A and B are shown apart, each in its own frame.
Chain A
Amino acid sequence: MIKGLVTIGTTTFDSLIKVLDKPSEKVSMKFQIAGGIYKPVNHDYEKFIPDIQSHYSEFDFIVTHAGAGSVYTLLESPMKFAVVANVERSDDHQLELARFVGSNNYAQTYTVDELQALSLLQIYETIIGKDCVKYKKEVFFKGKEIIDYIQGNGGGIS
Chain B
Amino acid sequence: MNKNLNKSVLLIAGEGGHLEQARRFNEMNQKLVNGEFIVVTDEQEKNVKLSCEVIRMKNISALTKQRTIRNMMAFMVLFTIEFVKTLYILFKTRPCGVIAFGPIFCLPFIFWARVSGLKAVYIETWSKFYEPTITAKICNKLAHRIYIQNITLKDKLVNGIYGGRL
Q: Is residue B53 contacting chain A, with contact meaning CB distance below 8 A?
A: no
Instruction: Give min CB distance, B132 to chain A, whole Å.
Output: 10
Please determine whether A90 and B65 come into contact, CB atoms closer than 8 angstroms.
yes
Taking each of B19, B45, B98, which has the highest tally of chain A beta carbons within 10 Å of its own beta carbon? B45
Q: How many angstroms from the CA of A82 to the CA of B83 in the assembled complex?
A: 38
B145 touches A149 (CB 8 A): yes
B145 with A137: CB separation less than 8 A:
no
CA distance A35 to B45 in the complex (A): 12
Contact present for A141 and B99 (CB under 8 Å): no
Asked if residues A68 and B127 are in contact (CB atoms below 8 Å), the reply is: yes
The yes or no answer to A129 lying at the interface (CB within 8 A) is: no
Is the C-beta of B165 less than 8 angstroms from some C-beta in chain A? yes
Contact of A151 among B19, B66, B96 (CB under 8 A): B96
**Cβ–Cβ contact A68 & B126, under 8 A:** yes
Tell me whether A97 is interfacial, beta carbon within 8 Å: yes
Partner of A10, one of B45, B96, B118, B119: B45
Q: In chain B, what residue has the closest Cβ to A90?
A: B67
Instruction: Verify if B88 is at the interface (C-beta below 8 Å from A).
Output: no
Separation in Å of the A72 CB from the closest CB of chain B?
7
Closest A residue to B20 by CB, please name it. Answer: A69
Interface pick from A16-24, A44-52, A120-128: A44-52
- A143 in contact with B127 (CB, 8 Å): no
CB of A157 within 8 Å of the partner chain: yes
User: A93 and B125: CB pair below 8 A?
Assistant: yes
Given contacts A10-B62, A140-B25, A151-B7, contact A68 B163 (CB under 8 A): no
- Alpha-carbon distance A151/B8, docked complex (angstroms): 9
Is the pair B163, A140 in contact by a Cβ cutoff of 8 Å? yes
SS of B interface (majority):
loop
Q: Is B34 an interface residue (CB 8 A)?
A: yes
Evaluate contact between B129 and A96: CB separation under 8 angstroms: yes
Count the B residues whose beta carbon is within 8 Å of the partner chain — how many? 52
Contacting pair A142 B161 (CB below 8 A): yes
Interface residues of A in 122-158 (CB under 8 A from B): 137-147, 149-153, 157
Does B46 lie within 8 Å of A72, measured CB to CB? no
A94 at interface (Cβ–Cβ under 8 A)? yes
Contact assessment for B47 and A151 in the assembled complex, using a CB-CB cutoff below 8 Å: no
B2 to chain A, nearest CB (A): 12
Residue of B nearest to A48 (CB): B45
Q: Which of B56-70 contact A (CB under 8 A)?
A: 61-62, 64-67
Chain B residues proximal to chain A, CB less than 8 Å:
7, 9, 15-17, 19-21, 24-25, 28-29, 32-35, 43, 45-49, 61-62, 64-67, 96-99, 118-119, 121, 125-131, 133, 144-145, 147, 149, 161, 163-166
Extra A-B contacts (19), CB below 8 Å, given A48-B47, A91-B64, A93-B128: A9-B17, A10-B61, A67-B16, A68-B20, A68-B21, A68-B126, A71-B127, A72-B126, A89-B66, A93-B125, A138-B165, A141-B163, A142-B147, A146-B147, A147-B29, A151-B96, A152-B119, A157-B145, A157-B161
